[in-house]
Amino acid sequence: MCEGSKGIALETADGATVEDIAITNIAMRDTSDAPLFLRLNRRNRGPSESMRPGTLRRVVISNIVSHNSASSTSSVLSGIPSNLIEDVKLTNCYFGHAGLPTVLPNGKPFPDWRSIQVPEIEEAYPDLNRFGPTPCNAFLVRHLKNLEMSHVEIAPAVADPRPAFWLEDVHRADFFAVTAPAQANFELRNVTDLRILWSRATKDTALASIVRQSI
């Protein structure tokens, strides 16, 4: 049991290769930020003659139970426009969080979630807290190719009108048996090859290409 700690993070910013990762059978309670953070960016700290783009790919996360995590910032899976995370699978996971907050961690009022724009921060240290609040309550997925979520439940403790999932520059995403409170749970921006099936989070959906849509 991980209790009162930060969430699970995989990060590469300086050209490192992070691949073939399996994370399983972890219980978390009262996580102080989001349960998951996968980040690929380009701080590029190191000798310029040997610097190369990093990789974050082939990651399988399964059998995770997360209860009562903070909810100002959702879990973030984010590459950058020039370098995408690849091949991420989540299965048999439960994510319970505190619901829509009224204040930010710094004590300031939580902004209107419809107006939140999450920065890219391509060249900085990969820290979840740098992103600030998110316009979704479970997963912000950005600049990623090949995503699969199956048998995943999102459970806010109090009502949270933010969509559970925000997908932006995501290519080939499959959601199967995903549960979330009944509302518009998917906010899509420049997404291709999306399939959602047998899910309480929304109706069955198959879309080849979407510039902008809420479902």
The per-residue pLDDT for range 88-100, each reduced to its tens digit, is 999 999 999 999 9
The pLDDT of residue 45 is: 84
- Check pLDDT > 90 for residue 47: no
- Residue 50: the pLDDT is 75
- Binned at pLDDT 50, 70 and 90, residue 51 comes out as confident
Q: What is the DSSP string of 19-39?
A: EEEEEEEEEEES-SS-SEEEE
pTM of the model: 0.96
Q: How far apart are CA 29 and CA 67, in angstroms?
A: 5
SS3 content of the chain, % helix, strand, coil (to 5): 5, 55, 45
Question: What is d(CA 53, CA 5) in angstroms, rounded to the nearest whole number?
Answer: 30
Residue 71's pLDDT band, with cuts at 50, 70 and 90, is: very high
